[in-house]
C-alpha cells in the first residue's frame, strides 16, 4: 500500500459483466456467482462469511448503497479431489437493479472490507471505473486486476473525483498546513465563494495562469477543495458538539435541516468556484467577456465572448461570438446549455468530469456542443474521444482569435 495512491484504498478487484442467468429471476434465482481463480485471489480457499457494502452507481441522484452479506464457500468441500467455489449473496436493493451486461466489480479494500459495485452498461460511471482500475476489456467471466503491483495511479483530481463518487473519503496528508491557512475562519461561518476562491489562489505557489492555464486551473480547484473540506470539518464538528436540542428534546428536524444545508453548500459551491477560477485565467489572458449576462428567454450563459453588447448587436457576425457554459459535472444537465444564447449555433461547455461515456459525447457532437476539459483529464477518455476534446488553452486561443 502506498499512501497517496489508489492502493491506499483498494488492494485488487475481480470484474465481469453479468449474464442473463445471474440477473434474470425468470431464468434463475440462485443469488450466487461461480467461483473462479480471480475470486479465489480475493477471498482465499477457506469458507468465509462477512458483511459487504453494495453500491449501485448510475446517473445523477440515482446511485445508492446498502449493507449486505456474502458467503464464499466450496460446494464440494467434502469431495477429496474436486472443488466448486461459489460466492453467495443475499437479495438486496442494489443487486435487484442488475440487468444483463451490467458491470460488476468485487473490490477488496486494505482493511479487508468488500465492495460490490454494480454499474449500468455504457454509463459514464462505467467508463470512469474502467479507467480508474486500468481495465480495457470486460467479459462475462471474472478477471482479476491487482492494484499496487499493477495499475496504481496517484490520487490526483480525477482519481479523487471517482473515489468520492463511491462514497470514499480521501485523506489529506497536509491537514496541519491547511489548518494554518484556515485558522482565521474557525470561529466564524464560511466566507463567500469569491473570497474562498481568492484564498485558494493566494496560498498556492508555482502556478502560471498565463503559461499553463490547464494545469493551473486544476491546482486551484484542488486547493480550494482541500481548504473547503477542512474548514467544513471544523465547522460541522463544532456544530455537532453543541448538539440538537429543542426544549430539552432531541431536535430531529433541526439536524435534518443542518445536514441538508451542508449537502447543498457542497453542491452549489463547486460550480461557482470553477467559474471564479476560469474568470481569473481569462483576465490573465486579457480576454473580454460578459459573465451571466441575460440573453433570450432570460437565459444567463456563464460566459459570452467578446461581450454581451456584441451579442445584442444584430450586425456583429455570429462567427465571432463564443458562448461557454460551465458545469463542474455534466451528468444529464449538459443539455441545458443548448437553450442558451440562441444566436450562437456551435456552443462550448467546460467541465471537470472525467471519463464521460461515448454515448454522451456522441450526443454532444450531434448537438453542436464542444466539450472542454483541462488537458490532464483527457486521458480518462477513450482514444476515440480524445481527438475531439478541447483543452482550456485551445479554447483561450479560439476566443482570442475571435476577439481580435
Whichever domain contains 396, its CATH number is 3.40.91.80
Judgement on whether residues 67 and 181 belong to the same structural domain of the protein: no
Q: How far apart are CA 362 and CA 338, in angstroms?
A: 15
Q: How far apart are CA 2 and CA 395, in angstroms?
A: 37
**Angle subtended at Cα 403 by Cα 402 and Cα 404, rounded to the nearest 5 degrees:** 90
Judgement on whether residues 222 and 183 belong to the same structural domain of the protein: yes
**Rg (Cα) of the chain, in Å, rounded?**
24
Residue 159 in any domain: the answer is no
Q: How far apart are CA 277 and CA 201, in angstroms?
A: 8
pLDDT score for 25 = 62
Contact 53, 115 (CB under 8 A): yes
**Angle subtended at Cα 381 by Cα 207 and Cα 106, rounded to the nearest 5 degrees:** 110
% pLDDT > 70, the chain:
97
Q: How far apart are CA 341 and CA 324, in angstroms?
A: 10
Q: Which of 159, 177, 180, 176 is nearest to 168 (CA)?
A: 159
Flag whether pLDDT at 32 surpasses 80: yes
Domains in the chain: how many in total? 3
Judgement on whether residues 108 and 230 belong to the same structural domain of the protein: no
Residue 1 in any domain: the answer is no
When pLDDT is averaged across residues 4-17 and rounded to a whole number, the result is: 93
* Residue 396, Ramachandran bin (φ over 0: left; ψ between -120 and 50: alpha; else beta): alpha
Decide: helix, strand or coil at residue 168: coil
Can you list the positions of beta strands (E) in 83-217?
85-89, 103-108, 114-119, 143-146
pLDDT confidence band for 60 (50 / 70 / 90): low
When pLDDT is averaged across residues 51-66 and rounded to a whole number, the result is: 84
% pLDDT > 90, the chain:
59
List, in order, residues 6 or more apart from 200 with CB less than 8 Å away.
Answer: 220, 223, 224, 227, 273, 277
pLDDT score for 27 = 54
- More confidently predicted of 187 and 273: 273
Contact 178, 233 (CB under 8 A): no
Flag whether pLDDT at 28 surpasses 60: no
Flag whether pLDDT at 1 surpasses 70: no
When pLDDT is averaged across residues 266-272 and rounded to a whole number, the result is: 81
Residue 161 in any domain: the answer is no
Judgement on whether residues 113 and 135 belong to the same structural domain of the protein: yes
Residue with cell 449486505: 68
Judgement on whether residues 13 and 148 belong to the same structural domain of the protein: yes
Residue ending a domain, among 283, 305, 330, is 283
Q: How far apart are CA 211 and CA 220, in angstroms?
A: 15
CB atoms near residue 389 (< 10 Å):
17
Flag whether pLDDT at 379 surpasses 90: yes
Contact 16, 143 (CB under 8 A): yes
Q: Which of 39, 43, 35, 32 is nearest to 15 (CA)?
A: 39
Flag whether pLDDT at 357 surpasses 80: yes
pLDDT score for 354 = 95
Residue 340 in any domain: the answer is yes
For 335-353, how does the pLDDT look when each residue is reduced to its tens digit (9 = 90+)? 999 999 999 999 999 999 9
Residue 336 in any domain: the answer is yes
pLDDT score for 30 = 65
Residue 168 in any domain: the answer is no
Q: Which of 113, 44, 51 is nearest to 73 (CA)?
A: 44
pLDDT score for 120 = 93
Residue ending a domain, among 283, 301, 327, is 283
pLDDT score for 186 = 72
pLDDT score for 265 = 77
Judgement on whether residues 50 and 139 belong to the same structural domain of the protein: yes
CATH at residue 101 = 2.40.330
Dihedral angle, C-alpha 36, 41, 47, 51, nearest 10 °: -100
Antiparallel, parallel or unpaired: β 85-89 and 103-108: unpaired
Q: Which of 309, 325, 342 is nearest to 395 (CA)?
A: 325
- More confidently predicted of 328 and 259: 328
pLDDT confidence band for 78 (50 / 70 / 90): low
Residue ending a domain, among 283, 299, 319, is 283
Residue 217 in any domain: the answer is yes
Q: How far apart are CA 229 and CA 178, in angstroms?
A: 10
Judgement on whether residues 21 and 129 belong to the same structural domain of the protein: yes
The structure's pTM equals 0.87
pLDDT confidence band for 313 (50 / 70 / 90): very high
- More confidently predicted of 360 and 190: 360
Judgement on whether residues 224 and 334 belong to the same structural domain of the protein: no
Can you list the positions of beta strands (E) in 221-286?
245-246, 249-250
Decide: helix, strand or coil at residue 61: coil
For 124-173, how does the pLDDT look when each residue is reduced to its tens digit (9 = 90+)? 999 999 999 999 889 999 999 889 777 899 999 999 999 988 989 887 77
**Angle subtended at Cα 147 by Cα 141 and Cα 149, rounded to the nearest 5 degrees:** 110
Flag whether pLDDT at 184 surpasses 90: no
Flag whether pLDDT at 5 surpasses 60: yes
C-alpha cell at 327: 458545469
Judgement on whether residues 307 and 272 belong to the same structural domain of the protein: no
pLDDT score for 26 = 58
User: Mean pLDDT across the chain, nearest whole number?
Assistant: 89
Judgement on whether residues 265 and 300 belong to the same structural domain of the protein: no
Residues forming a β-bridge with 87 = 33, 72
CA 226 to chain centre: 15
Flag whether pLDDT at 113 surpasses 90: yes
pLDDT score for 345 = 94
Judgement on whether residues 298 and 277 belong to the same structural domain of the protein: no
Contact 284, 400 (CB under 8 A): no
Q: How far apart are CA 319 and CA 402, in angstroms?
A: 8
Residue-number span of the structural domain to which 124 is assigned: 6-153
Residue 165 in any domain: the answer is no
Judgement on whether residues 12 and 139 belong to the same structural domain of the protein: yes
Amino acid at each position: 500500500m502506498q499512501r497517496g495512491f489508489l492502493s491506499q484504498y483498494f488492494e485488487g478487484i475481480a470484474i465481469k459483466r453479468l449474464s442473463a442467468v445471474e440477473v434474470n429471476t425468470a431464468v434463475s434465482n440462485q443469488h450466487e456467482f461461480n467461483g473462479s481463480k480471480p475470486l479465489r485471489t480475493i477471498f482465499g480457499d477457506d469458507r468465509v462469511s462477512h458483511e459487504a457494502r453494495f453500491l449501485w452507481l448510475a446517473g445523477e441522484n440515482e446511485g445508492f448503497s446498502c449493507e449486505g452479506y456474502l458467503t464464499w464457500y466450496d460446494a464440494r468441500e467434502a469431495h477429496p479431489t474436486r472443488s466448486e467455489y461459489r460466492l453467495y449473496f443475499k437479495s438486496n436493493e442494489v443487486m435487484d437493479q442488475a440487468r444483463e451486461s451490467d458491470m460488476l466489480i468485487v473490490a477488496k479494500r486494505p482493511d479487508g472490507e468488500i465492495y460490490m459495485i454494480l454499474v449500468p452498461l455504457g454509463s459514464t460511471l462505467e467508463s470512469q471505473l474502467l479507467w480508474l482500475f486500468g481495465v480495457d476489456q470486460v467479459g462475462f467471466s471474472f478477471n482479476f486486476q491487482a492494484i499496487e503491483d499493477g495499475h496504481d495511479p496517484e490520487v490526483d483530481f480525477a482519481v479523487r473525483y471517482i473515489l468520492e463518487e463511491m462514497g470514499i473519503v480521501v485523506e489529506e496528508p497536509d491537514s496541519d498546513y491547511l489548518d494554518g491557512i484556515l485558522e482565521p475562519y474557525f470561529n466564524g461561518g464560511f466566507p463567500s465563494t469569491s473570497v474562498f476562491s481568492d484564498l485558494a489562489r493566494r496560498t498556492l505557489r508555482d502556478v502560471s495562469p498565463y503559461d499553463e492555464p490547464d494545469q493551473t486551473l486544476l491546482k486551484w480547484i484542488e486547493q480550494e477543495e482541500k481548504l473547503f473540506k477542512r474548514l467544513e470539518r471544523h465547522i460541522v464538528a463544532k456544530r455537532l458538539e453543541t448538539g440538537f436540542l429543542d426544549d430539552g428534546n432531541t431536535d430531529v428536524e433541526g439536524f435534518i435541516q443542518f445536514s441538508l444545508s451542508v449537502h447543498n453548500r457542497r453542491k452549489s459551491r463547486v460550480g461557482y468556484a470553477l467559474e471564479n477560477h476560469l474568470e481569473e485565467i481569462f483576465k490573465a489572458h486579457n480576454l473580454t467577456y460578459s459573465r451571466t449576462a441575460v440573453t433570450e428567454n432570460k437565459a444567463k450563459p456563464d460566459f459570452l465572448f467578446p461581450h454581451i453588447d456584441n451579442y445584442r448587436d444584430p450586425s456583429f457576425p455570429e462567427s465571432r461570438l463564443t458562448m461557454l457554459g460551465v458545469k463542474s459535472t455534466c451528468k444529464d444537465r449538459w443539455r441545458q446549455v443548448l437553450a442558451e444564447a440562441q444566436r450562437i449555433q456551435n456552443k462550448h461547455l467546460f467541465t471537470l468530469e472525467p471519463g464521460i461515456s461515448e454515448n454522451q459525447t456522441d450526443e454532444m457532437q450531434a448537438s453542436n456542443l464542444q466539450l472542454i476539459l483541462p488537458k490532464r483529464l483527457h486521458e480518462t477518455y477513450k482514444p476515440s474521444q480524445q481527438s475531439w476534446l478541447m483543452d482550456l488553452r485551445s479554447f483561450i486561443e479560439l476566443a482570442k482569435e475571435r476577439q481580435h
